[in-house]
A and B are shown apart, each in its own frame.
Chain A
Amino acid sequence: MDLKDLYRDVIVDHNRHPRNYREMPDADRHADGHNPLCGDKLTVYVKLDGDRIRDVSFHGSGCAISVASASLLTESVKGKTVAEAERLYATMHALLTKDDAQIDLPSLGKLAALSGVREFPARVKCASLCWHTLEAALHRQDVPVSTE
Chain B
Amino acid sequence: MSAATQAAPVPVAEALDVRAIRRDFPVLAQTVHGKPLCYLDNAASSQHPQSVIDAISNYYETSHANVHRGVHTLSQRATDLFEGARERVRQFLNARSTREVVFVRGTTEAVNLVAQSYARPRFGPGDEILISWLEHHANIVPWQMVCEQTGATLKVIPISREGEVDYEAFERLLSPRTRLLALAHVSNALGTIVPVARFVRAARARGIPVLLDGAQAAPHLKVDVQSLDCDFYCFSAHKLCGPTGIGVLYGREALLREMPPWQGGGDMILAVSFAKTLYNDLPWKFEAGTPHIAGAVGLAAAIDYLERLGLERIAAAEHALLEYAERRLAEVPGLHLVGTAREKAALVSFTVDGIHPHDLGTILDSEGVAIRTGHHCAMPVMEFFGVPATARASFAFYNTTEEVDRLLAALQVAREMLG
Contact = CB atoms under 8 A, between A and B. Distances in A.
B99 interface: no
A38 B362 contact: no
Contact of B389 (A3, A6, A39): A39
B144 interface: no
B418 A3 contact: no
B374 A3 contact: no
Contacts, number: 52
B148 interface: no
A38 B374 contact: yes
Given A1-B33, A7-B417, A39-B388, A64 B366 contact: no
B68 interface: no
A79 interface: no
A39 B382 contact: yes
A119 B373 CA distance: 19
Interface in B370-419: 373-375, 382, 388-389, 417-418
Interface stretch (A49-57, A120-128, A139-147): A120-128
B388 A65 contact: no
A89 B358 CA distance: 24
Given A41-B388, A63-B356, A126-B358, A1 B366 contact: yes
A8 to B, nearest CB: 11
B177 to A, nearest CB: 34
A38 B373 contact: yes
Interface string B349-363: 000000111110011
Contacts of B374: 37-39
A3 B363 contact: yes
B417 A12 contact: yes
B366 A38 contact: no
Contact of A122 (B362, B375, B382, B388): B362
B356 A3 contact: no
A63 B359 contact: yes
Contacts of A12: 417-418
Nearest to B34: A1
Contacts of A61: 356, 388
A69 interface: no
Contacts of A62: 356, 388
A82 B355 CA distance: 34
A120 B388 contact: no
A63 B417 CA distance: 14
A15 interface: yes
- Grouping DSSP codes into helix (H, G, I), strand (E, B) and loop, the A interface class, with mixed when no group exceeds half, is mixed
Contacts of B362: 3, 6, 120, 122-123
Contact of B418 (A39, A64, A122): A64
A123 B356 CA distance: 13
Contacts of B363: 3, 7
A61 B351 CA distance: 14
Interface in A1-33: 1, 3, 6-7, 12, 15
A65 B359 contact: yes
B41 to A, nearest CB: 14
Contacts of B33: 1
Contacts of B357: 38, 63
Nearest to A60: B388
Nearest to A61: B388
A97 to B, nearest CB: 18
Nearest to A11: B418
A115 to B, nearest CB: 16
Nearest to B382: A39
A3 B366 contact: yes
Interface string A104-148: 000000000000000010110010000000000000000000000
A83 to B, nearest CB: 33
B417 A38 contact: no
Most chain A beta carbons < 10 A, residue from B362, B375, B382: B362
A71 B359 CA distance: 17
Interface string A47-89: 0000000000000011111000000000000000000000000
Contact of A7 (B382, B389, B418): B418
Contacts of B388: 38-41, 61-62
Nearest to A64: B359
Most chain B beta carbons < 10 A, residue from A39, A40, A120, A126: A39
A127 to B, nearest CB: 12
Contact of A38 (B355, B358, B418): B358
A39 B359 contact: no
Contacts of B358: 37-40, 63, 65, 123, 126
Interface of B: 33, 355-359, 362-363, 366, 373-375, 382, 388-389, 417-418
Given A7-B363, A7-B417, 8 more contacts: A39-B358, A39-B388, A39-B389, A40-B358, A63-B357, A64-B356, A64-B359, A122-B362
17 contacts: A3-B366, A7-B363, A7-B417, A12-B417, A36-B375, A37-B358, A37-B374, A38-B374, A39-B374, A61-B388, A63-B356, A63-B357, A63-B359, A64-B359, A64-B418, A120-B362, A126-B358
Of all A-B residue pairs in the complex, the 4 with the closest CB atoms, nearest first, are A39-B388, A63-B356, A38-B358, A63-B358
